[in-house]
Amino acid sequence: MSVIFPSLNWFEELRNRFNSNQRDNQVGVGTCDALVGVACGEKLFTVQFEAFECTNVMELEDESALENTDFYLELHPNDWKDMIINIKENNGAGLSFTLNTLDLELSDGLAKSWTEDQYRQDLFFRFNQTFQYFFDASADVETVFEEMDIA
């Protein structure tokens, strides 16, 4: 069954797959406690990680709610699409599409902080492998992309 990106449904699919332990790529991970925002065009979400699980995903009404996140990941919708397609093709992000690479490659970066608290933004680095596995789990999801009105 295909799922639209970006949508709450898509993140719920990811959460279920991430929590299911079916993917056996668990090197360098451990407990992870972080509230991560995701911004794709007008659509905003939060992904809550607690201990060994992704415990909650939510869609946000208003971008000021990003204030509560430790950091948020923001990409142009086309860049999200490229990343997700690459993950699907490689069964996990290829050399040019890991979260860290996108963060450094794109001029505006990927991981951002609403509060400019670097200690909290550094969670992106501390738990990077966990977040990578989370998005890599999308390799198992049939994603279709919402045609967005992109300026």
Partner 1 sequence: MTISKEELDLAPAVREFGEDNNLDLSWLDTRGEWGVRAEPSKRGLTLGDIQLGSYGEPGDHSDNMTGRPRGARARNDAYRVGGYKIRSKADIWLSNAHVLYEESLQRQWSSATDVPWNTIKPLPDDIERAQCQLATFLTEVEFVAAEVPGRWLAATTPDYFEPRMFLISQVMDESRHLDVFRKRAFANGGGLMQRPNVTTSGTVGSIDLSNDFTEMSSRLHITGEGSVLTIFRMGELMAYNEAEKTIYRLAAQDEARHVAFGVMHLRYLAETEPERKEEIHCYLDEGEGALVAGNQNPASRDTAQSEALAILLGGGEKNFDEGYRKLMAVRKRQAREYVQRVRSAGFGERFENGRANQELLAYTR
List contacts with partner 1 (CB under 8 A).
27-31, 50-52, 95, 98, 100-101, 103-105, 107, 109, 113, 116-122, 125-129, 132
CA 139, CA 88: separation in Å to the nearest integer?
Answer: 4
| Residue with Cβ nearer partner 1 (5 or 133) | 133
| Residue with Cβ nearer partner 1 (64 or 107) | 107
| Residue with Cβ nearer partner 1 (132 or 138) | 132
Find the shortest distance in angstroms from Cβ 80 to partner 1. 19
CA 142, CA 140: separation in Å to the nearest integer?
Answer: 7
| Residue with Cβ nearer partner 1 (96 or 144) | 96
Find the shortest distance in angstroms from Cβ 83 to partner 1. 15
How many residues make up the chain in this entry? 151
Find the shortest distance in angstroms from Cβ 130 to partner 1. 9
Q: How far is CA 49 from the centre of its chain?
A: 11
Task: List Cβ<8 Å contacts ≥24 apart for 23-29.
Answer: 23/133, 23/136, 23/137, 23/140, 25/92, 25/133, 25/136, 26/133, 27/129, 28/129, 29/129, 29/130, 29/133
Three-state DSSP at 71 gives strand
Find the shortest distance in angstroms from Cβ 132 to partner 1. 7
Contact 60, 45 (CB under 8 A): yes
Find the shortest distance in angstroms from Cβ 114 to partner 1. 12
| Residue with Cβ nearer partner 1 (5 or 134) | 134
Contact 15, 54 (CB under 8 A): yes
